[in-house]
Amino acid sequence: MFNQGGFFMNKVSYITEEGLQRLKDELDHLISIERPIISKLIADARDKGDLTENAEYEAAKEAQGMLEMKINKLKEAIINCRIIDGSKIDTDRIQIMNRVKIRNTKNNTMMEYTIVSDNEADLKQGKIAVSTPIAKGLIGKKVGDFVEIKVPMGIIPFEIIEISI
């Protein structure tokens, strides 16, 4: 995504303080633990002689490249994060950081999700990314609304039962 001046614009991501801390902890682990391990693997492989036919060296260099790419992505994600102030979250209409109870009107099953940033999504904990079809279909709706959300399996009708923090 570029602005009018042709400069690359990064996407801002809204995140909780604990989500940001998890990103920082992961970055610290990659830099202080993983990077030295890969550097040692490269040095060990280099000590074995001819690098042109050294599969260990090639594998270690490839792992280093992947690690550096992951480190850069994490740094960029951290730079572009904005902390969400939970005290300012409204529950009149669904928005990021809301906990939402919905009912599938087709089979009457109840589901609860918290809508979070892409970095914090964890379906096992009931946290869905704001970029998912379900979250996109719920954003801006209020209790009592009925929505039909297109998902990969088809269209699912939902009723919004409750919005909380």
CATH of domain 13-83: 1.10.287.180
Q: How far apart are CA 70 and CA 64, in angstroms?
A: 10
> pTM for the full model?
0.66
pLDDT digits (tens, 9 = 90+) for 9-67: 457 777 888 888 999 999 999 999 999 999 998 898 888 776 667 788 888 899 999 99
SS (H, E, C) 59-125: HHHHHHHHHHHHHHHHHHHHHCEEECCHHHCCCCCCCCCCEEEEEECCCCCEEEEEEECHHHCEHHH
CATH of domain 87-164: 3.10.50.30
Q: At what angle do helices 55-79 and 17-29 cross, to 10 degrees?
A: 160
Direct distance between the N- and C-terminal alpha carbons of the chain, in angstroms, rounded to an integer: 32
Instruction: Please state the domain extents for the chain.
Output: 13-83, 87-164
